[in-house]
Amino acid sequence: MTLLRDDDLSRAFDHASRTYDRLTALNPGYRADLLRSARRLRLPREGAGLHILDLGCGTGASTRALLDAAPQARVTAVDASAGMLRRALAKPWSARVRFLHLTAEDVAAEAEGPFDAVFAAYLFRNVTDPDAVLKTVRTLLRPGGRLAVHEYSLSGSPVHRALWTAVCRGIVIPAGTLAGDRPLYDHLWRSVLAFDTAPAFAERLTGAGFTGVRVAPVAGWQTGIVHTFLARNGATTAEEREQ
């Protein structure tokens, strides 16, 4: 099976949006891991002037994590799936966020930057050209602005690759099949196997011009499977380098 891309992937997410929150809730630590990654941006909780972009917000779990990490920040959230955005807009906190129906490739034309930070959760596996999207992110970030990427990116160890396949075949794909969305969850399994390893994605960030690239594994069973990638847009001040 080939990976889903572009419009086909957006339609698959549209269809899956009705059960997406219930299925992700079955993953221990899913929301806690997103909050930990959002907090790793180290944004001030009193930062009323901050403007943050949630790139690929889905049903809003990552957006909620940003709101919890930086309650006074202004958040713009974008996603290519209209169905996922409808679920996000139904959340009780949605009035605090500006939502836009856009692909990651098109966000620069519509989103009003510059942004102090960009958070991208489970996005880069799903774009056709990750390097082009990273270039777009750099145009949207202010100099020294922060990027956090929360992503399924395997460590490179055969053990973690085998564990991911076992979990997908034993739990993820059967659950997705029961929900009527097997193509999307087949895509999830295969897209992780096909995507950069954590060291390779860190190199991709450096090659795109980001500085201070760091990689942090998540806790629990997903250690070695999901990582947080932290970086800055170009040159930083001495104060920022110390953080």
Q: What is the SS3 assignment for 160?
A: helix
Per DSSP, the residues of 22-63 read HHHTTSTTHHHHHHHHHHTT---TT-TT-EEEEET-TTTHHH
- Within the chain, strands assigned E span 51-55, 74-79, 97-101, 115-121, 141-152, 210-217, 226-233
Question: Is 37 inside any structural domain?
Answer: yes
Question: Is 22 inside any structural domain?
Answer: yes
List pLDDT tens digits, range 166-219.
999 999 999 999 999 999 999 999 999 999 999 999 999 999 999 999 999 999
Peptide bond into 44 cis (omega under 30): no
Question: Is 243 inside any structural domain?
Answer: no
Judge contact between 160 and 152, C-beta under 8 A: no
| Domain interval for residue 84 | 6-235
Question: Is 178 inside any structural domain?
Answer: yes
Question: What mean pLDDT comes out for the span 115-142?
Answer: 97
Identify which has the larger pLDDT, 2 or 72: 72
Q: How many domains, the chain?
A: 1
Question: Is 241 inside any structural domain?
Answer: no
Percent helix, strand and coil across the chain, each to the nearest 5: 50, 20, 30
Question: Is 88 inside any structural domain?
Answer: yes
Instruction: Give CA–CA dist 151/214, Å, rounded.
Output: 13
> Residue 169 maps to which CATH number?
3.40.50.150
Residue 2 has what DSSP assignment? P
Q: What is the pTM of this model?
A: 0.94
Question: Is 179 inside any structural domain?
Answer: yes
Question: Is 240 inside any structural domain?
Answer: no
Instruction: Give CA–CA dist 29/45, Å, rounded.
Output: 23
